[in-house]
Structure 1
Amino acid sequence: MKLSTRGRYGVMAMADIATHSHGAAVTLAEIADRQGISQAYLEQLFVKLRRGGLVDSARGPGGGYRLARTADDIRVADIIIAVDEPLKVTRCESGSPIGCVGGSRCQTHDLWEELGRHIHVFLASVSLADVINKRVLGRTVPVVKSPALELTH
């Protein structure tokens, strides 16, 4: 599975607001500058984030965006879903085996479907506050020791 720029940039922008707002609105120009993201692209994302109830906007001088809820109450999965990022790893269309092998479910379909569920559960367990306070690394512990999962330094 590859997370597109839409999902990654949405999370990056929300983390930027959580880090830099200090109660004031943050402009898209400031986020674009700090994160190296096109302001035009951020404008598209923030329409979706506002519609998703994750940010509030303020117009005029001193305007910009604020988190609509506390960083503890915003989950990474909420952000990714708000920007229309699909959280699936199968090739199949929703509710249909189209895209799988020969028009039917492939042999590994259930594996990828379950992986997609695990990804969603993980992202739903991580708050925006966890991200900005660096409490994410080390949350996932392998159940079965596998040489492929060993980290090399």
Structure 2
Amino acid sequence: MALHKSEGPITLNSIAERQGISEGYLEQLMMPLKRAGLVKSVRGAQGGYVLAKEPKDITVGEVIRALEGPIAPVACVSEDYPEECERAEGCVTRLVWAKVRDSIAEVLDSFTLEDLVQESRKHTGQSSYMYYI
């Protein structure tokens, strides 16, 4: 969607065809993206989906969190809802997992959809492999 932003609303059918995925699966992906305020639907004959914000204002981390939930290599260090573990206080590996989580989040949050659009344009002919958000 970021790559084709200037075309206006994009139908699920169009996105599904370009990405080689089913329209039904794509519908399931759009629901959490709408709830997260990343996309919005436009009704009518020329309707479809558009980004709710500018591509430069949406990070890859936001998309991943909307679709997959909080970043967490293991449940006990989840960003939002760390599960309590009876061994957490003396767990030496928890520190490692927390650093892994923070590193993953830092990388995901350092890229915007605009960054991916620019990268896609560098690789002419490969843009069809860019996911449509």
- TM-score, normalised by the number of residues in structure 2: 0.76
1:104 correspondence with 2:87: yes
Q: Deviations over 1:64-93 (max 9, x none)?
A: 001111110111111111224331112537
- What is the match of residue 25 of structure 1? 9
Opposite residue 29 of structure 2, the aligned amino acid is L
User: 2 CA distance for matches of 1:82 and 1:23?
Assistant: 24
Q: Is the 8 A contact 1:23 1:66 kept in 2?
A: no
- Which structure's residues are more often helix, by fraction? 2
Q: Deviations over 1:4-45 (max 9, x none)?
A: xxxxxxxxxxxxx11123141011111111111221111111
User: 2 CA distance for matches of 1:31 and 1:23?
Assistant: 12
Q: After the TM superposition, which parts of structure 1 deviate over 3 Å for at least 4 consecutive aligned residues?
A: none
User: 1 CA distance for matches of 2:42 and 2:30?
Assistant: 12
- What is the match of residue 19 of structure 2? 35
Listed as ranges, the gaps of 5+ residues in structure 1 are 1-16, 98-102, 136-153
CA apart distance, 1:131: 1.1
Which of structures 1 and 2 has the larger relative contact order (alpha carbons within 8 angstroms, sep 6+)? Answer: 2
Task: Please give the root-mean-square deviation of Cα atoms over the aligned residues, in Å.
Answer: 1.9
Q: Is the 8 A contact 1:90 1:112 kept in 2?
A: yes
- What is the match of residue 63 of structure 1? 47
- Equivalent residue in structure 2 for 1:124, among 80, 90, 109: 109
Q: Identity of paired residues, percent?
A: 39
- Equivalent residue in structure 1 for 2:37, among 53, 72, 97: 53
- What is the match of residue 74 of structure 2? 90
SS in 1 for 2:3: helix
CA apart distance, 1:130: 0.6
Opposite residue 94 of structure 2, the aligned amino acid is H
Aligned positions, number: 114
Opposite residue 57 of structure 2, the aligned amino acid is D
